[in-house]
């Protein structure tokens, strides 16, 4: 009797863990997974120019301006919220010189523009010029009071004939540069901060990518040997690293209208495979093929950023290492638990139940993404 009770407790504990892992995916099934801003600062002796872009859906969420609920802003809807949007950006995007905030001296334009098949809010504003020996900063406080929104501002800085990049996200929302007499060159510390910001971005990107996490969970929950797990994760890593790099470099381009539904479809396929087959084999082949698709999804947030060639390699590696760090932690947590779970007679029922939930969520995402094409 005690043994049966212990088994039931183990099953209940695993169901609780699985629910805790899957429940955030259910909450986010209709959520906007990532809000992405893109800022270009151009420093010159005559002025400091800022171009800031934000995706259309983020503008809708901030302003509640979609009066006809079609997930788009027409010109009339945007005109109604334009002044309020400008005030929000002015309050939350701060440029400082030697620690003193500077207001923009001119708003060149603020409107909606088509960028690569998507609509974005584009703000062009002018700040006062910076001078050598100054320390300048850019601070983005947008969404800091909204813990539910995953937001990143991909910052490109043009100074003299040079470029540098940084990803502002999470609690790290400030960029600093000490200007010199040499065409606004930055100190060496900026390159260190730059690669680390992309490492953190990779970590937060996969943690906020509920579809990628659910795909990984669906792959892992099926009964497999340690060798199969290692082969499968290696195949996924190689595949998504290849397409991530090729997409950011512009060598391949598959539009999001294909990639996003394909990612949702990959979850459905793996979930059905789990339900249909008690024991899976050669899953690394399937994982490699779907990993190619997921790599294109990982690249979405970076490919619109004008990363300098001199920094591209280190930024890409840092971003990918951030993704892999989270992936290894998840695998390290789940595989031992799954090993013990599969020793019990009700393990198959747990696999089918969790895979059914994954199938449902994947189907919801698939339908949602197909409908928005």
| Segment among 182-186, 213-217, 319-323 with least mean pLDDT | 182-186
Task: Please tell me the number of Cα atoms within 13 Å of 306 on its side-chain side.
Answer: 13
Residue with tokens 């923009």: 104
**For position 372, what pLDDT does the model report?**
67
What pLDDT, in 10s, does the model give residues 344-359?
Answer: 888 899 999 999 999 9
Predicted confidence (pLDDT) at residue 72 exceeds the cutoff of 50: yes
Q: DSSP state, 160? A: T
Token pair belonging to 27: 């909450």
Between 85 and 146, where is the model more confident?
Answer: 85
Arithmetic mean of pLDDT, 276-289 = 87
| Segment among 92-101, 106-115, 294-303, 334-343 with least mean pLDDT | 294-303
Residue with tokens 């008690």: 278
Task: Identify whether the C-beta of residue 122 lies closer than 8 Å to the C-beta of residue 109.
Answer: yes
Arithmetic mean of pLDDT, 208-237 = 90
Predicted confidence (pLDDT) at residue 275 exceeds the cutoff of 70: yes
Is residue 261 very low, low, confident or very high in pLDDT (cuts 50, 70, 90)? Answer: very high
Round the average pLDDT of the chain to a whole number and report it: 82
Token pair belonging to 290: 């779907």
What pLDDT, in 10s, does the model give residues 175-185?
Answer: 888 877 664 44
The radius of gyration of the chain's CA atoms, rounded to the nearest angstrom, is 23
**For position 181, what pLDDT does the model report?**
64
What pLDDT, in 10s, does the model give residues 36-51?
Answer: 889 999 988 889 999 9
Assessment of whether the complete model's pTM goes beyond 0.75: no
CA distance linking residue 200 with residue 169, whole number of Å: 8
**For position 108, what pLDDT does the model report?**
95
Region of residue 99 (left: phi > 0; alpha: psi -120 to 50; beta: else): left
3-state secondary structure of 146: coil
Handedness of CA 361, 279, 221, 326 (dihedral sign): negative
Buried b (16+ CB within 10 A) or exposed e, 273-304: bbbeeeebeebbebbbebbbbbbbbbbbbbeb
Is residue 164 very low, low, confident or very high in pLDDT (cuts 50, 70, 90)? Answer: confident
């Amino acid at each position: 009797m005690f043994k049966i009770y212990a088994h039931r407790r183990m099953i209940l504990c695993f169901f609780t863990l699985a629910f805790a892992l899957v429940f955030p995916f259910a909450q986010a099934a209709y959520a906007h997974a990532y809000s992405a801003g893109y800022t270009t600062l151009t420093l010159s002796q005559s002025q400091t120019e800022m171009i800031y872009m934000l995706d259309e859906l983020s503008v809708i969420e901030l302003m509640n301006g979609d009066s006809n609920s079609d997930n788009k802003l027409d010109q009339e809807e945007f005109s109604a919220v334009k002044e309020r949007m400008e005030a929000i950006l002015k309050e939350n995007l701060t440029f400082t010189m030697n620690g003193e905030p500077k207001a923009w001296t001119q708003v060149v334009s603020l409107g909606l523009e088509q960028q690569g098949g998507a609509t974005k809010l584009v703000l062009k504003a002018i700040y006062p010029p910076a001078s050598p020996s100054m320390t300048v900063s850019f601070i983005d406080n947008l969404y800091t009071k909204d813990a539910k929104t995953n937001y990143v501002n991909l910052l490109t800085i043009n100074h003299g004939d040079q470029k540098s990049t940084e990803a502002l996200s999470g609690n790290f929302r400030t960029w600093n540069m000490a200007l010199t007499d040499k065409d606004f060159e930055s100190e060496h510390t900026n390159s260190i901060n730059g690669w680390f910001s992309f490492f953190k971005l990779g970590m937060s990107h996969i943690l906020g990518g509920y579809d990628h996490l659910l795909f990984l969970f669906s792959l892992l929950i099926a009964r497999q040997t340690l060798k199969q797990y290692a082969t499968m994760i290696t195949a996924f890593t190689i595949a998504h690293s290849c397409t991530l790099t090729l997409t950011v470099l512009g060598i391949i381009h598959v539009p999001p209208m294909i990639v996003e539904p394909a990612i949702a479809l990959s979850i459905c396929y793996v979930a059905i495979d789990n339900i249909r087959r008690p024991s899976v084999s050669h899953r690394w082949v399937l994982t490699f093929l779907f990993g190619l698709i997921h790599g294109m999804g990982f690249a979405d947030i970076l490919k619109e950023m004008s990363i300098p060639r001199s920094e591209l390699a280190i930024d890409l590696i840092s971003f990918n290492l951030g993704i892999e760090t989270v992936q290894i932690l998840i695998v390290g947590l789940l595989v031992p638990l799954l090993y013990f779970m599969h020793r019990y007679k009700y393990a198959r029922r747990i696999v089918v139940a969790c895979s059914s939930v994954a199938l449902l969520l994947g189907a919801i995402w698939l339908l949602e993404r197909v409908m928005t094409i």
